[in-house]
C-alpha cells in the first residue's frame, strides 16, 4: 500500500509539473507573439492571437488603451530585438501594429472569422490565467482558432486569392496546441482509481432464523 501511494504521489507531482511548464511555454508563445497563423483582420494581417485580440479591443474600446499597449509591448520588444536589435518606442507601438485607424476599419473581416476572434480572446486570457492556475481556457481557445483556420482555409477556400492575404498556419501552431492540452490538470487519482466496490448485502440473523422455522 505504501509503494502504491508513493507511485501515485510521484506521478501526480510529475503531471502537475508538466502542466505548469506547458502553461509557461504557452504564455511565452502568446505574449511574445510568436507567429502561429496568418489571417486578415481589422489591422490588416494578423499572425498571433494577441494581434487579433488587440485590434478588436481597441476598435470596441472595451479596455483602456494603455492596458492594450501593455499586452502588446513584450512581443514588440522581442520582435524588435530579433529583427533589428532595437527596442521599439512605447508611443510608436500602435503604428508598428497598424492600429492607429483600426476604429474606422470595417467589422466584416472579424465577423467572417468569429471562431478565430473568439479563440484568440480565450487564448490570451487562458495564457494569462494559466500562469497562476492552469486550466482549460487555453485549450478551448486554441481549438476554436484551429477550427476557424480549418473552416477558412479548407471549407471556404476561395478560387482566386492574393498569396499575401491567404490564410496560413505556421508549424508553431502545433506546439501551441500540444501545450494547451498539456496545461490542463487532470486528477491522476480519479483516472487510476477504479469504481468503488459495492458492499454485498447480508441477511439479518433474525430473518435467516425465521426462514429456517
pLDDT of residue 192: 47
φ and ψ at residue 38, rounded to 5 degrees = -145, 115
Which of 50-54, 58-62, 135-139, 188-192 is predicted least confidently? Answer: 188-192
Q: How many CB atoms neighbour CB 45 within 10 A?
A: 15
Per-residue pLDDT for 23 more than 80? yes
Pick the more confident residue, 53 or 158.
Answer: 53
Give the range with max mean pLDDT: 8-17, 83-92, 159-168: 83-92
- Across residues 185-202, what is the average pLDDT? 53
Q: What is the pTM of this model?
A: 0.78
Q: What strands, in cross-sheet order, belong to the sheet with 168-169?
A: 44-46, 37-41, 168-169
Mean of per-residue pLDDT scores for the chain:
81
pLDDT in tens, 71-102: 999 999 999 999 888 899 999 999 999 988 88
Rounded Cα distance, 31 and 40, in Å: 20
Residue ranges covered by each domain of the chain: 17-180
Lowest mean pLDDT segment, chosen from 75-84, 135-144, 156-165, 184-193? 184-193
Q: What is the mean pLDDT of residues 165-193?
A: 79
The pLDDT, as a whole number, for residue 31 is 95
Residue 156 has what pLDDT?
A: 61
Residue listed under C-alpha cell 483600426: 102
**Mean pLDDT of the region 98-113:** 83
C-alpha cell of residue 211: 426462514
Q: What was the pLDDT predicted at 166?
A: 79
Amino acid at each position: 500500500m505504501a509503494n502504491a501511494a508513493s507511485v501515485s504521489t510521484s506521478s501526480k507531482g510529475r503531471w502537475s509539473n508538466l502542466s505548469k511548464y506547458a502553461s509557461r511555454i504557452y504564455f511565452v508563445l502568446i505574449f511574445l507573439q510568436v507567429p502561429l497563423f496568418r489571417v486578415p483582420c481589422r489591422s490588416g494581417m494578423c499572425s498571433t492571437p494577441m494581434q487579433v485580440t488587440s485590434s478588436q479591443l481597441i476598435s470596441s474600446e472595451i479596455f483602456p488603451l494603455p492596458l492594450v499597449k501593455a499586452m502588446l509591448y513584450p512581443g514588440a520588444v522581442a520582435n524588435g530585438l530579433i529583427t533589428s536589435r532595437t527596442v521599439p518606442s512605447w508611443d510608436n507601438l500602435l503604428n508598428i501594429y497598424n492600429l492607429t485607424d483600426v476604429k474606422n476599419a470595417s467589422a466584416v473581416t472579424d465577423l467572417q472569422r468569429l471562431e478565430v476572434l473568439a479563440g484568440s480572446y480565450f487564448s490570451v486570457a487562458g495564457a494569462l490565467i494559466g500562469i497562476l492556475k492552469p486550466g482549460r481556457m487555453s485549450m478551448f481557445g486554441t481549438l476554436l482558432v484551429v477550427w476557424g483556420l480549418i473552416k477558412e482555409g479548407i471549407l471556404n477556400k476561395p478560387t482566386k486569392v492574393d498569396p499575401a492575404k491567404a490564410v496560413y498556419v505556421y508549424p508553431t501552431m502545433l506546439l501551441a496546441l500540444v501545450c494547451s492540452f498539456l496545461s490542463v490538470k487532470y486528477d491522476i487519482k480519479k483516472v487510476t482509481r477504479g469504481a468503488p466496490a459495492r458492499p454485498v448485502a447480508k441477511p439479518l440473523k433474525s430473518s435467516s432464523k425465521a426462514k429456517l422455522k
